[in-house]
Amino acid sequence: MKGNLTTFLEGVGQLGIELSPTQIGQFKSYYDEVALFNRRLKLVGAEGGDFVVKHLLDALTPLNFFKEIIDNNTTFCDAGSGAGLPGIPLAIALNANPFFLLERSGRRAGFLRNAVAMTQLTHHVEVLEQDIEDVTQQFDIVTFRAFLPLEKVIGNLDQILKPGGVIGAYKGKREVLEEELAPLSTFWESEIYQLKVPFLESERTFCLLRRRGE
């Protein structure tokens, strides 16, 4: 992480997130693992300082929204985890909660298992190498961070969400998100939050979705 550590620490400071020396070390290890395998596995499209801002800080920016609705027993599933985003940064920050990183690609799931071991998260993070359609477990919170429209994935996310559970969707422009939510409004309640990711100029939004009537 070297020169990018300052950017990371300044960013988490702006977000009001306090990290222990152990957690900072875990973030360094995760950064190093992504840097080592990124080009070979095509994990993310950003490196160095861009990775810190567009992925690490982006993943952590909604942290306080999660903290308001969880306790230590709340289970998380990061659907389509890929490089472990936002799952691994959240798991480092929320070190008491059980996390499940769901990834169907064998190569990426292998990376995730290695990253979980190197970041010393094995006590509360598990990698599920499965298609989402094959998952039989259900979770309190399902995170989703991808370009796919919500309408195309909501059915799969719904099937792994516990009754009374919450979907946390990381999205871009608010206008686009509102268009995605419109056809879902009959069955889903949504809360939209405008995010300010430190050092990022691009518009980012975060949405919490709950089934109506729960």
What residue ranges do the domains of the chain occupy? 2-211
Tokens (6 digits) for 116: 């979980």
Q: What is the pLDDT of residue 146?
A: 82
Q: What is the pLDDT of residue 157?
A: 98
Q: What is the pTM of this model?
A: 0.97
How far is CA 165 from each of CA 2, 99, 136, 138, rounded to the nearest angstrom? 39, 15, 15, 9
Going by C-alpha positions, the residue among 56, 1, 61, 55 that lies closest to residue 25 is 1
Q: What is the dihedral of CA 106, 110, 111, 112, to 10 degrees?
A: 100
The rounded average pLDDT for each run of 10 residues, N- to C-terminus, in the chain (214 residues) is 93 98 98 96 94 98 98 97 98 98 98 98 98 98 92 97 98 97 97 98 98 94
Domain 2-211 carries which CATH code?
3.40.50.150
For CA atoms 85, 9, 46, 106, give the dihedral sign. Answer: negative
Q: What is the pLDDT of residue 25?
A: 98
Residue 162's Cβ-count burial label (10 Å; 0-12, 13-18, 19+) is middle
Q: What is the pLDDT of residue 120?
A: 98
Q: What is the pLDDT of residue 121?
A: 99
